[in-house]
Amino acid sequence: MTNKLVNTIQQFKLFKHCSGSFHQSLASQARILDLQKGKLLFIHESEAERFYIILNGWVKLFRETLDGAQAIIDILPANHIFGETAIFQDNKHSYSAEIVEQANIISLPLDLLKSEIESNPKLAISMMSSMAQCRRHQSQELENRTFKNAPQRIGCFLLRLIDPDQSGSVSIHLPYDKTLVASRLGMQPETFSRALNQLKKQINMNVNGSTLKINNVTDLINYTCSSCSSEFPCHELRS
């Protein structure tokens, strides 16, 4: 049991350069969580004691504005780590986290991570690389918001769900509610619905509920990525 966990933990790029003993002490203090849709993991500004690794499922990170709207920071899939940045923010979470699709999550103590970062430069470097990547991702997101219209943003979202070296015809299943995809992309559900229809017409795509079939990925790329500052596969897999 714990062995399997150590194994899982050491596979993460972030922990690649850490000692076995660190992996073990992480594992020994790990909790495995099985969480249902809707579960709030922690809230913005709360005291942070643990960070999390997603084994599967989807987790929404968000904040709430004074007038009640939700600002979605990101919606993370398996193999992503979150909550760890509280280390640099006074041990306060800078967002809330909610399960949006049933998830298995490992929770680990922050203090262990913190002390290791302070003593292991290689881990520190890994950590910085992952933060740098996150930053690039964020600035791309802002760029998308500035230059892409609704159908293109949806296209970009879909491309991220596709294995980058896939080509030709692909079938995609939306990983969570359309309403949520919409707000992740900064648009209204109605707009999402209409924009998806436009996209369907622009490129050759079939829509069946949450299942989309794209007959030619290249068409999607051409349609979507023309207003980007980087060429297609512009997204890297974090982990």
Partner DNA sequence: CGAGGGTTTGAAGTGCATCAAATAGTGTGG
Partner DNA sequence: CCACACTATTTGATGCACTTCAAACCCTCG
What whole-number distance in Å separates Cα of residue 77 and Cα of residue 57?
A: 6
Q: Which is nearer to its own copies, 67 or 165 (CB)?
A: 67
User: Do the beta carbons of residue 191 and residue 183 sit within 8 Å?
Assistant: no
Residue 65 touches its own copies, criterion: CB under 8 A = yes
CB-based contacts of 147: which residues, under 8 Å, 6+ apart? Answer: 227, 228
Residue of the chain from 55, 78, 134, 234 that contacts its own copies (CB under 8 A): 134
Binding mask 110-149 for DNA (x = CB under 7 A): ---------------------------------------x
**DSSP H helices in 41-188:** 110-119, 121-147, 150-161, 178-184
Residue 187 touches DNA, criterion: CB under 7 A = yes
Q: Quote the least distance from Cβ 119 to its own copies, whole Å.
A: 6
What whole-number distance in Å separates Cα of residue 198 and Cα of residue 32?
A: 42
Residue of the chain from 142, 165, 168, 208 that contacts its own copies (CB under 8 A): 142
Q: Which is nearer to its own copies, 55 or 124 (CB)?
A: 124
What whole-number distance in Å separates Cα of residue 129 and Cα of residue 127?
A: 5
What are φ and ψ of residue 126, in 5° steps?
A: -60, -45
Residue 17 three-state SS: coil
Chain positions contacting DNA, by CB under 7 A: 149-151, 177-180, 186-197, 207, 209-210
Residues that bind its own copies (CB under 8 A): 44, 63-67, 69, 71, 73, 85, 87-89, 94-95, 117-119, 121, 124-125, 127-129, 131-136, 138-139, 141-143, 145-147, 186, 225-231
